Amino acid sequence: MVRADLLKVWASLLVAVSAAGVLTVAVLATGAEAQETGCRGQVVLDAGHGGSDSGAVNARYGLVEKEQTLDVARKLEALLEADGHAVCMTRTGDETLSNNDRYAYANSTGAEILVSVHMNGSSDPAPDYTTTLFGKWRKDKELALTVFDGLSTLPAADGAGTMHTRAPYSFASGVLLKSDMPATIAETVFITSDAEGRLLSDGTGARQQQIAGALRTGIEDYLDAH
């Protein structure tokens, strides 16, 4: 799930007002320390949300998007590094990062691509599909389509064939628009889905590994072609 940059700014202002600036300073300092400073890599992975921004939640299965995105991103990092790709992570713990933190970090790494890992959310426990988002058509479209093709191979959580899909679409996120390299937001699965909730919370990490594997396929297909 992604939200507009403007909401993020407004939330920061509220924090600043309510905590007399002290909390805001602490949050910004945490954000700066969270990143792998000086990292140079081929791929930047951005685990969506973090810290005070939980993202979507599946209360029934005790799942929080910020934790699931980091779990998948770490598994994906291991897969890519095992294949010889240097990876930089926007966060490796539970840090609060603004969209500005994320794209500024990505731009400092010299990476070829940026993939932001998310899970989608709905108030309805039924929907579950995979999709990817792009910012600038010319910059991001091919990466978004290739990562989408990889995700589309994911088995459906209910065991019937592969995941439902929604065609990649445009989304005005600073992470996409202000990053220098091709970038995409991967809305991998619906964390709010009952079927996904059962798999993601089974304690084995198998579903998270499956999602990481599908992302690896798309990322490596893209890198192989460039």
Q: What residue ranges bind Zn ion (CB under 5 A)?
A: 1, 48, 55, 118
Q: CB atoms < 10 A from the CB of 13, how many?
A: 11
Q: Which of residues 55 and 150 has its CB atom nearest to Zn ion in the complex?
A: 55
Q: Which residue is nearest to Zn ion (CB)?
A: 118
Least distance in angstroms from the C-beta of 116 to Zn ion: 8
Q: Is the dihedral of CA 82, 94, 16, 135 positive or negative?
A: positive
Least distance in angstroms from the C-beta of 56 to Zn ion: 6
Q: Hey, what's the torsion of the CAs at 44, 45, 47, 50, to 10 degrees?
A: -30
Q: Which of residues 1 and 73 has its CB atom nearest to Zn ion in the complex?
A: 1
50 CB burial (10 A radius; 0-12, 13-18, 19+): buried
Least distance in angstroms from the C-beta of 161 to Zn ion: 25
Least distance in angstroms from the C-beta of 48 to Zn ion: 4
DSSP state of 155: B
Q: Which of residues 1 and 151 has its CB atom nearest to Zn ion in the complex?
A: 1
Least distance in angstroms from the C-beta of 65 to Zn ion: 5
List Cα–Cα distances, 18 to 11, 24, 45, 127, 226, in angstroms.
11, 10, 32, 37, 48
Q: Which of residues 50 and 150 has its CB atom nearest to Zn ion in the complex?
A: 50
Helix 65-82 / helix 206-224 crossing angle, nearest 10 deg: 50
Q: Which of residues 31 and 85 has its CB atom nearest to Zn ion in the complex?
A: 31
* Cβ(13)–Cβ(56) below 8 Å: no
Q: How many helices (H) and strands (E) does the chain have?
A: 8, 9
Least distance in angstroms from the C-beta of 18 to Zn ion: 24
Q: Which of residues 85 and 90 has its CB atom nearest to Zn ion in the complex?
A: 90
